[in-house]
Amino acid sequence: MIDQKTIDQETIEQDMKKIIIIKAGDTFPLMGKYLGDFEDWIFKGLCVGKEDIMVVDIPKGDPLPDVETCKAVVISGSHASVTENLSWSVAIEQWIPDLIQSKTPILGICYGHQLLAKAMGGIVDFHTKGIEIGTTGIEILEDSTQDFLFKGLPKTFKAHVCHSQTVIRLPDHAVRIAKSSFEPNHAFRIGQSAWGIQFHPEFDEKIMEAYAENMESTIKESGLILSETLEKIEPTPIPLKILERFGNLAK
């Protein structure tokens, strides 16, 4: 017979765990003032209580939490590049395999997607075609239709994107889930509880428009036209469902 005290202790320990948002940088200052920052958008999309969340700002010196205190982990986007191998980024990279080993649910978004891939043996570098930015079409691959985060979703949907680096090669044993005409590795899974997604489920149209406007020079360097990018921005409700599903899994 299982001791009730043991059950109670396990319940207490589980309740003490937090969903960790790894904040891998800041958005543009004016955007942060009026629209919020990475952690705000992610928190909103997860649809969980504030008491369930702990934000860890790694670039500003916050220590990485012990794996056993993590109910789930979301790694945000960043204005840094994974290939810079900044000390704080390398620290997260070295922490990720322990999360995988413990089967802690992980969701890497954009930078987090790339860092998850690199940590598990994949290769990340700049995309040969430059930046992918704005609203684009995402295609779910046939063999990923039963994935926990993606099952039941339309085979094609729109998502917001903003990245210059890409996962050139997925880690061994990773399952490729989604692609776009520009990006072959838009989503992947490792095991049953770790996902990387290159697109931004946490972005809404205002955030995407503000990013495009702030990155006009980069857009021009890639041979794109800002006005055309802005015209194509539209609502993206499907990716938001993916983020909410991860929140449900974490709960």
Instruction: Please list the pLDDT of the chain residue by residue as tens digits (251 residues).
Output: 444 333 343 443 556 899 999 999 999 999 999 999 999 999 999 999 999 999 999 999 999 999 999 999 999 999 999 999 999 999 999 999 999 999 999 999 999 999 999 999 999 999 999 999 999 999 999 877 789 999 999 999 999 999 999 999 999 999 999 999 999 999 999 999 999 999 999 999 999 999 999 999 999 999 999 999 999 999 999 999 999 999 999 87
Ramachandran area for residue 173 (φ above 0: left; ψ -120 to 50: alpha; else beta): left
% helix, strand, coil for the chain, step of 5: 40, 25, 35
Catalytic positions, please? 110, 200, 202
Domain boundaries, the chain: 4-250
Placement of tokens 């990923």 in the chain = 144
From residue 242, give the alpha-carbon distance in Å to each of 25, 27, 92, 150, 193: 22, 22, 23, 7, 13
Domain 4-250: top CATH class: alpha beta
- In three-state secondary structure terms, 57 is strand
Q: pTM here?
A: 0.93
Phi, psi torsion values for 77, nearest 5 degrees: -75, 180
- In three-state secondary structure terms, 230 is helix
The span from the CA of 133 to the CA of 57, in Å, is 25
From residue 94, give the alpha-carbon distance in Å to each of 97, 117, 148, 225: 7, 12, 26, 39
Contact 167, 197 (CB under 8 A): no
